[in-house]
Amino acid sequence: MPISVARHDLMRRMNEMAVLTVLRQHGPLSRRRIAQYTGLTKSTVTVAVQRLFAKNILMEVGTINNGPGRPEVLLNLNPTAGYIIGAGIDVASYHVVLFDLEAHILQQYLASFEANASPREVLSRIAADVKRMKSLIEEREYWGFGLSIPSVISTEGDVIYAPNLKWADVPVKDYFVNLLGEPVFVLNDADAGAVAEYFFGEGQKSELLVYLTLGMGIGGGIVVNGDLLRGTTGASAEVGHMVIAANGPLCSCGRRGCFEALASVRTLIERATRARDAWEWLSLDEIVNGFSAGEAWAVSAVNETVQYIAEGVTNIANIYDPDMIVLGGPLARLGPYLEHYVQSHVSRHIIAANHRRIAIKITSLGQFASDLGAGAMVLNTAVDTRDG
Ligand SMILES: [Zn+2]
């Protein structure tokens, strides 16, 4: 392809993506307002809108009267123009969901697998479920597939190393591309959570969004102006292993005093079990219930853990200078208490605190967030692959 044609295609694609982005963030909008938000000329917007209409990605949703002159037509995304399948692997379980372009879930499926199941076995079971869901929709309505895995994922979509699953060097993306065709996206679970927050959750207007999953470990994902920050090997934002207490407790990675060795679900369980002098490990349910009931052992264990979370989040705020940090994973159940504590700590302790405001939010996307996020990567390719 000659360079001038390639450049023209790229410009057209960027214009169409810009229109889609402002509609997702601010829609419904008139063409005039789209031009204001994107900074594109009205004629460029008209061309982009025409092409998106031809692809069935936009729809008219009414009119608005702005003073004299003709009423303006309001445009928005057509949520049922296509369907995406997302899946997520956890330790010993997986889920698959079918959803539309606004993340309404039409079908969901959950299953468990043996802890020592081979990657081939787990992937083939997921593939069978994905094919079954795909058969429910028409071929032209299927937009693609995304899978989230608690693993370092290479930029080619391979599992490099998944410590909790004990998987290493698994070419996951190739496997699904062979079965389903493109597009297929394979993401680290925290990265997928970050993408989900950007497309569907708290961070839709965020320029630099950090998402943290607070679970048995702590992972991070970062979205900058709509793009996932992957790092050079795919292992960016491994914030769980930043040291926040030199000579602190031993971490699974071999160092001492890592963020996740002080602020994960595992450490909360250890603290609460010790504080209560219990004979068996307490469950997170028991701890959250005890905390809600104001029981001293639970309050002290939660407080100590939340203090470490706040310290870690403040470091992250200073390193990345985000406008929003979303907290997800099992500890998001601590809800407003966690949100307020971390918000006030960050607001007091970030550098240049007088000049910036960083919003701390608890995720609102629920248990399928990372499935939605992995699948949402498909939306970035939508303007390329749709017929127009
Ligand atoms: Zn560590």
pLDDT digits (tens, 9 = 90+) for 143-188: 999 999 999 999 899 999 888 889 999 999 999 999 999 999 999 9
Cα separation, 381 vs 377, in Å, equals: 7
- Between the CA of residue 378 and those of 49, 139, 186, 324, 382, what are the distances in Å? 20, 15, 11, 23, 6
CA 380 from chain center: how many Å?
14
CATH class of the domain defined by 83-196+370-385: alpha beta
Strand partners, 73: 63
Cα separation, 340 vs 343, in Å, equals: 5
Would the pLDDT of 384 be above 80?
no
Name the band, by pLDDT with cuts 50, 70 and 90, for residue 294.
very high
Taking the centre of ligand 1 as the mean of its atom positions, its distance from the CA of residue 90, in whole angstroms, is 20
* CATH superfamily for domain 203-364: ATPase, nucleotide binding domain (3.30.420.40)
Cα separation, 47 vs 301, in Å, equals: 58
pLDDT digits (tens, 9 = 90+) for 262-273: 999 999 999 999
Q: What would the mean pLDDT of 13-41 be, rounded to a whole number?
A: 91
Cα separation, 267 vs 265, in Å, equals: 5
Percent of the chain topping pLDDT 90: 73
Taking the centre of ligand 1 as the mean of its atom positions, its distance from the CA of residue 240, in whole angstroms, is 6
Taking the centre of ligand 1 as the mean of its atom positions, its distance from the CA of residue 256, in whole angstroms, is 7
Taking the centre of ligand 1 as the mean of its atom positions, its distance from the CA of residue 194, in whole angstroms, is 21
Taking the centre of ligand 1 as the mean of its atom positions, its distance from the CA of residue 232, in whole angstroms, is 20
Name the band, by pLDDT with cuts 50, 70 and 90, for residue 253.
confident
Would the pLDDT of 5 be above 90?
no
Taking the centre of ligand 1 as the mean of its atom positions, its distance from the CA of residue 235, in whole angstroms, is 14
pLDDT digits (tens, 9 = 90+) for 75-96: 999 988 899 999 999 888 999 9
Would the pLDDT of 386 be above 80?
no
Question: Is the separation of the CB atoms in 37 and 52 below 8 Å?
Answer: no
Cα separation, 65 vs 182, in Å, equals: 43
Taking the centre of ligand 1 as the mean of its atom positions, its distance from the CA of residue 67, in whole angstroms, is 61
Q: CATH 3.30.420.40: which residues of the chain?
A: 83-196+370-385, 203-364
Flag the least confident range among 128-137, 228-237, 249-258, 361-370.
Answer: 228-237
Taking the centre of ligand 1 as the mean of its atom positions, its distance from the CA of residue 249, in whole angstroms, is 10
Taking the centre of ligand 1 as the mean of its atom positions, its distance from the CA of residue 215, in whole angstroms, is 14
Domain range 3-77, its CATH number among 1.10.10.10, 3.30.300.90, 1.10.1760.20, 1.20.58.340 = 1.10.10.10
Taking the centre of ligand 1 as the mean of its atom positions, its distance from the CA of residue 258, in whole angstroms, is 5
Flag the least confident range among 99-103, 136-140, 195-199, 322-326.
Answer: 136-140
Would the pLDDT of 4 be above 80?
no
Would the pLDDT of 383 be above 80?
no
Question: Is the separation of the CB atoms in 271 and 305 below 8 Å?
Answer: yes
Flag the least confident range among 4-8, 14-18, 331-335, 362-366.
Answer: 4-8
Q: CATH 1.10.10.10: which residues of the chain?
A: 3-77
Taking the centre of ligand 1 as the mean of its atom positions, its distance from the CA of residue 254, in whole angstroms, is 6
Taking the centre of ligand 1 as the mean of its atom positions, its distance from the CA of residue 238, in whole angstroms, is 9
Cβ atoms < 10 Å from Cβ of 269: 19
Taking the centre of ligand 1 as the mean of its atom positions, its distance from the CA of residue 360, in whole angstroms, is 24
Taking the centre of ligand 1 as the mean of its atom positions, its distance from the CA of residue 241, in whole angstroms, is 4
Cβ atoms < 10 Å from Cβ of 181: 11
Would the pLDDT of 353 be above 80?
no
Name the band, by pLDDT with cuts 50, 70 and 90, for residue 387.
low
Name the band, by pLDDT with cuts 50, 70 and 90, for residue 358.
very high
Q: What would the mean pLDDT of 4-29 be, rounded to a whole number?
A: 85
Cα separation, 53 vs 47, in Å, equals: 10
Taking the centre of ligand 1 as the mean of its atom positions, its distance from the CA of residue 259, in whole angstroms, is 7
The single-letter DSSP state of residue 282 is P
Taking the centre of ligand 1 as the mean of its atom positions, its distance from the CA of residue 280, in whole angstroms, is 25
From its phi and psi, is residue 101 left (phi > 0), alpha (psi between -120 and 50) or beta? alpha
Taking the centre of ligand 1 as the mean of its atom positions, its distance from the CA of residue 188, in whole angstroms, is 17
